[in-house]
Homo-oligomer: A and B are copies of this chain.
Amino acid sequence: MTEMSNPTAAVLIIGNEILSVRTQDSNLNSIAKKLSSLGIKLKEARVVPDVEDEIIAALNALRNRYTYVFTTGGIGATHDDITADSVARAFGLPIIENPEARARLEAHYTPANLNAARLRMARMPEGAALIDNPVSVAPGFRIENVYVMAGVPNIMQAMLDGVVAGLKHGATIYSVSVSGPVPENNVAEELGAIAANYPHLDIGSYPWFRVGKWGTALVVRGTDKVLVDEAADKLFALMAKQGIEPERE
C-alpha cells in the first residue's frame, strides 16, 4: 500500500462512561475524519476505563507503534480525571503544576473561583507543551508524540483544530464510494478480483440495511488519484451490472 509511508496514528479514548451505558462516543469518528483529510492514517483505537494501569499499558503500547497518539477524556477537575497522572507515569516523568496552564486559569477565573479542583487542571507531566482550549480555557497538553485532549466533543475538536498545523501531513488519501441496493454477496467474487488487481489501494465492502432493504457500499481509498478513479470506475460498472443505478461519491 502506498499509504504505508503516510504518518500513522492511534486514538486512546479514556473514560468509564464510554464502556458503561451512558455515552456513545463520537470523538473517534471526528478524529478519523480530521486525520484522513491530513493524510494521516488512523490504524487503531482503544477504549479504556479511568484506571491508571490500564491507561498506562494502552498508552505505552500505542505511542511506541504509531507516529501520533491522540487521547480523549479524563483531564477535567474531578477525582476520576486521572489522565495527566497516568500519562506522566507512562513517560516516567514527574507531574507538576504547569506555570503557563496555571496562569491561564488565573486569568480566567476570579481568585475565589480558582479552587483546588480547578487547579487540578494545571497538573501535567513536566515538560508538557500546552494545547490551547479556546472553548473553556483549561488546556490539553502534548508530550512527545502524545496529544492529550478533553473528552467533551466540542472542546476536543477545538483542541484538535489547534494542533493539526504542527503535525506531519501525508499524501492526501482519496476515497470514492459506490453504493446501491445490492446484497454484498452478489458482487463479492468479482470485487475480490478487482481488489487483487489494485494491491496499492484499499478496497472495502460495507453492507448496509435500511428500511428493510440490503445494500452495499464499495469503497476505494488510496493516495494515487488516477488509480483510485480507475478502480472506482470498475466498482461502478460492477454495481451497475446488477441492474441498479449506483450512487458514486
Contacts and interface: CB of A to CB of B under 8 A. Distances in A.
Interface in A169-223: 175, 177, 184-185, 187-189, 191-192, 195-196, 202-209, 214, 217, 219, 221
A3 to B, nearest CB: 11
Given A20-B32, A204-B50, A77 B185 contact: yes
A18 B45 CA distance: 9
Given A24-B29, A217-B22, A118 B188 contact: yes
B19 A44 contact: yes
Interface size class of A (residues with CB under 8 A): 35 or more
Given A44-B47, A117-B189, A184 B20 contact: no
Interface of A is mostly: mixed
A83 B133 CA distance: 40
A183 to B, nearest CB: 9
A45, A136, A202: residue with the most chain B Cβ atoms closer than 10 Å: A45
A206 B153 CA distance: 12
Nearest to A188: B117
Contact of A24 (B21, B26, B113, B221): B26
Contacts of A76: 184-185, 188, 205, 207
